[in-house]
Structure 1
Amino acid sequence: MSLIHVSNLTFAYDGSYDNIFENVSFQIDTNWKLGFTGRNGRGKTTFLNLLLGKYEYSGFISADVCFEYFPFQVQDKEKQTLDIVEDIAPDYLLWELMRELSLLKVSDEVLYRPFNSLSNGEQTKVMLAALFLKENNFLLIDEPTNHLDMEARTIVSNYLNGKSGFILVSHDRAFLDNCVDHILSINKTNIEIQKGNFSAWWENKQRQDHFEVEENEKLRKDIKRLSEAAKRTSEWSHEVEKTKNGTRNSGSKVDKGYIGHKAEKMMKRSKSMEQRQQSAIEEKSRLLKNVESSDSLKISQLDYHKTQLCELEKISIYYGEKQVCREVSFIIEKGDRIALAGQNGSGKSSIIKLINGEDISYTGTFRKGSQLKISYVSQDTSHLQGDLSDYAQTHGIDESLFKAILRKLDFSREQFGKNIADFSGGQKKKVLVAKSLCERAHLLIWDEPLNFIDVISRMQIEELLLDYEPTILFVEHDQEFCRKIATKLVKL
């Protein structure tokens, strides 16, 4: 066992006025299976890069281990997979590699194929197997689930559960729960570590948030009471001070010394109350420091004039001579929330493209309602660029609603002035989801909408879909999301 010490870490990107990290201190045991969580843009990948020594920073990071980053950057994907493994782990032993691939349920024949002929899931598993062959290294595993279907996620999660000595960045709750024993969380104002899996951390966080909100409400009432009392006392002291000169028509003499003493006492009391009020305000400012904004979102879906929106009857889809799915049949009715499931390559995205009106070669019968308006979220975010105002105008959506949704999904106002091309992967997916929620449509079609999106935003989107019950067809490998949202399951 060894420790990674982080002390007074402070970092900001060149040209930025805001620190990503400021005087952060904690330590990590290299035997831990450490889950790493936090909202998009908080600096998870930045912190991994700091461990790897890619940026200059102030403070101190001390470790007796070498860090290895996943995913490994493959320069020549046409090389044989075995050669790629050798690039990652030059001193590997073949029998150890076979053992790791067996645990990941990958056939060893993939080693003798070009790396680019492997599926995304196979590439992920091969790189993980190769990285875990490197003894005495601490692995930084950055979002391995984005190219894994649900079955593959279970396999990889079970694999990682049998390992130790890694930081795992993932937004998949079930995946994290199965394979980590500590959580490292980037909060609004600090970084903290807790023992346990994601669900245990989330329960503790909700409890702490609830406590902070209750304390905040007490302080708010106390500040109001103190403010009113201080105002009354101040008014009394001024009224008493006036009586030092007596009443013009009374003709009586006034004990100015007594009244002045009384006014002074009341003024001191007023000042004391003001100080208590200010103290309460300062205490309030320390609360709610890590309570995440997770306001509910609102949408308004168009009502279709018929119950049935689409029907697929014995649909088989082809790319040239290759058949990607065979005799798929299902109906989309108003109010359905349909999860389209199946292994990678089973034709899920092809079915979505067919329904969305793309030119797809197929056999069978496909019926789509007339005047049906569809809002589509694709997997691809590479086309996103420009500022958010222009993007909203180009797509004919309400800019204020669009930005309000993004604000609720944890976008800062500063983010609105940046080029979308510079957003993180999760922030780009939020742009696509927010656009879709702004569009007036009868049917939502979302193809892996949650890739890179943080856990709290996933929960907000879940709540929205459950509250407003839009008609939606989606592909998503987040097991918890599917369990909560889907009213029907179509498995290819």
Structure 2
Amino acid sequence: MLCALFCQADHFFLLDEPTNHLDLAGPKELVAYLKQKKQGFIIASHDRTFLDQTIDHTLVIERSQVRLENGDLASYEMQKKRRDSHDIQQNAKTRHELKRLKQAALTKENWASQAERQKQNNSHADKGFIGRRAAKVMKRATALKSRAEEQIKQKETQLKNLEVSEPLSLNYRPTHKQVLVEAKDFSLAYENSYFHL
């Protein structure tokens, strides 16, 4: 089937797990053939050694998008580790900044509440002065809070969506088989044969 596929010179062909049913010499022959091939091809395979020996571009579905990289699978994985490491660092910085912005927004909200309580608690003071000051603080706090919330939304969009392997958990449940029969030191005979167990 592979030979018939390779005879079609005008096609850009797809090899889906081509090493699956080959003998030990088959993958080597296939690698040698593909290396001298001038025509392009696409390989879908789990055989990493085979891929590293035959491909010069890697097409991967990563983070819900298709990524095309120059080089074999090993160079793609090295680049991916670098990108992921950079993204993890950026996410840590962004989360720290988000925490700071949320704390600042909370502080500004507390200013406004404190000014309002001061206005209500000072029954003997000049209500006009305290009211104007409370309104001014409230207006400033609201503006600062909305600006902080806008910055928070903007920062949240900068968080990278990293792929994470979920740990595999198995719900092992031991069987509760009961011993139905137990025998010790017994003899078993069958016609002219005798066994002692």
TM-score, normalisation: structure 1: 0.33
In 2, are the aligned partners of 1:158 and 1:178 still within 8 Å (CA)? no
Over aligned residue pairs, what C-alpha RMSD do you find? 2.2
SS at match of 2:7: coil
How far has the Cα of 1:155 moved from its partner?
A: 2.4
1:157 to 25, 28, 31: 31
Distance (Å, rounded) in 2 between the aligned partners of 1:131 and 1:178: 20
Residues 363-386 of structure 1: CA deviation (Å, up to 9, x unaligned)? xxxxxxxxxxxxxxxxxxxxxxxx
Structure showing the higher strand proportion among its residues:
1
Distance (Å, rounded) in 2 between the aligned partners of 1:281 and 1:145: 44
SS at match of 1:401: coil
1:283 to 149, 158, 161: 158
Structure showing the higher helix proportion among its residues:
2
2:7 to 115, 128, 133: 133
Distance (Å, rounded) in 1 between the aligned partners of 2:173 and 2:15: 36
Distance (Å, rounded) in 1 between the aligned partners of 2:24 and 2:167: 28
Distance (Å, rounded) in 1 between the aligned partners of 2:63 and 2:138: 46
How far has the Cα of 1:205 moved from its partner?
A: 1.2
SS at match of 1:137: coil
Q: Does 1:168 align with 2:43?
A: yes
How far has the Cα of 1:259 moved from its partner?
A: 3.1
SS at match of 1:184: strand
How far has the Cα of 1:149 moved from its partner?
A: 4.1
Distance (Å, rounded) in 2 between the aligned partners of 1:235 and 1:220: 22
Distance (Å, rounded) in 1 between the aligned partners of 2:103 and 2:25: 62
In 1, are the aligned partners of 2:112 and 2:134 still within 8 Å (CA)? no
1:252 to 125, 134, 139: 125
How far has the Cα of 1:185 moved from its partner?
A: 1.0
Structure 1: which 5+ residue stretches go unaligned? 1-126, 298-399, 403-437, 441-492
Residues 390-431 of structure 1: CA deviation (Å, up to 9, x unaligned)? xxxxxxxxxx625xxxxxxxxxxxxxxxxxxxxxxxxxxxxx
In 1, are the aligned partners of 2:60 and 2:67 still within 8 Å (CA)? yes
Q: Does 1:401 align with 2:163?
A: no
SS at match of 2:9: coil
How far has the Cα of 1:150 moved from its partner?
A: 4.3
Residues 424-452 of structure 1: CA deviation (Å, up to 9, x unaligned)? xxxxxxxxxxxxxx699xxxxxxxxxxxx
In 2, are the aligned partners of 1:223 and 1:281 still within 8 Å (CA)? yes
SS at match of 1:144: coil
Residue of structure 2 equivalent to 1:185: 60
SS at match of 1:145: coil
Residues 34-66 of structure 1: CA deviation (Å, up to 9, x unaligned)? xxxxxxxxxxxxxxxxxxxxxxxxxxxxxxxxx
Structure 2: which 5+ residue stretches go unaligned? 175-197
* Identity fraction in percent: 31
SS at match of 2:20: helix
Aligned length: 171
Which of structure 1's runs of 4+ aligned residues deviate more than 4 A?
A: none
1:235 to 74, 88, 110: 110
Distance verdict in 2 for CA 1:221–1:135, change over 3 Å? same
Distance (Å, rounded) in 1 between the aligned partners of 2:117 and 2:22: 79
Distance (Å, rounded) in 2 between the aligned partners of 1:217 and 1:152: 48
